[in-house]
Amino acid sequence: MSALASDPRLVAIARAGLSGSAVPFRATLFEKSGRSNWLVVWHQDTALPVAARFDSPEWGPWSEKAAVVYAHAPTWALARVLALRVHLDDSAEENGPLRVIPGSHQLGVLSDDEVFRVAREREAATCLVARGGVLAMRPLVIHSSSKSTADVPRRVLHLEYVDSLDLAPGIRLAVA
């Protein structure tokens, strides 16, 4: 995944979205199919992997997964992140595509109740992307996906970039 995340075409997209530098720091493979199928409720992605715990009232709660420390981050840190979703299969209405609330990333970090209120009040957009396509998204955009209703797989490689691994003095992202 490191080679793909460093592909000049993807880095150029990330740099454009981050207004300059783009460092890949996390990759996740999502696969929805007849064997692996789930519903994702409306949410924002607010946890970031960090190199070490630190004291800050802006960060937390804290958790650990596969020996990596994670903290829920403040808006200013999440605004420095851009995800590129590389579609390994076509996404279609029947295989649980990504749905987003356009512009919701500008609202900052919201509580779960606020997320659901915004999702009820604003119109959602369904992101149908062809195999090989790339979709850019901010972690704070409110998003969801339904269960797949067909045995057509939807695999997405979710690559995350940041303008610098060092977010502030004493706050460094971990490469996860």
Q: For position 147, what pLDDT does the model report?
A: 87
φ, ψ at 15 (rounded to 5°): -60, -40
| CATH number, residue 105 | 2.60.120.620
Number of folded domains in the chain? 1
Phi, psi of 97 (to 5 degrees): -70, 165
Question: Residues for the chain: how many in total?
Answer: 176
pLDDT value at residue 27: 96
Taking 70 as the pLDDT cut, the residues of the chain under it are: 1
Q: Which domain does 89 fall in, by range?
A: 2-172
Summarize pLDDT for 36-62 with one digit per residue, the tens. 777 899 999 999 999 999 999 999 999
pLDDT in the model for residue 13: 97
Q: Which two tokens stand for residue 115?
A: 């997320």
